[in-house]
Structure 1
């Protein structure tokens, strides 16, 4: 018999916050009271798969954002005092 994992263990294993894991379980139709609650192994597999799928989708969304050009220099910001020739 496999040990029942706790929600917070799975969340930390996948590098997400426990609150995110609880929200995902709720979206999957599973009732879990707190991050220290244990869940059945099939539910744990379902949670891992859902969180990994979300992680893959979020990393794909983040890739185009990292390709954006660098921000303008601080002196070129609107509202910043212009440099006066001396």
Structure 2
């Protein structure tokens, strides 16, 4: 894509939300204010590379069952 690309267009292209793209751009040191901000082509290329490289290990999050197993014991102890 020659010229400038808007953040929301890049987000749609990459299949992520605009907040993710904004956060990654800020992490990369780019000044962006909103989803309608534009970025230069070289920045967009770096962003694509960064998000595509980081998209595979973005799934590990299922650590909630351990916390939920401790919750039922508290109400039974509260009853006389």
Larger radius of gyration: 1
Kindly indicate which of the two structures has a greater share of residues assigned to strand: 2
Q: How many residues align?
A: 65
Structure having the higher helix fraction is 2
Corresponding position of 2:42: 42
Structure 1 regions of 5+ residues with no counterpart?
Answer: 66-77, 79-86
- C-alpha displacement at 1:56, in angstroms? 2.0
Unaligned runs of 5+ in 2: 63-71, 73-80
Structure 1 residue 4, shift from structure 2 partner: 0.9
Equivalent-residue separation in structure 2 for 1:44 and 1:7 (angstroms) = 9
- Show the counterpart of 2:18: 18
Q: How does the TM-score come out when normalised to structure 2? A: 0.68
CA distance in 1, matches of 2:7, 2:31: 12
TM-score by length of 1: 0.64
CA distance in 2, matches of 1:10, 1:56: 18
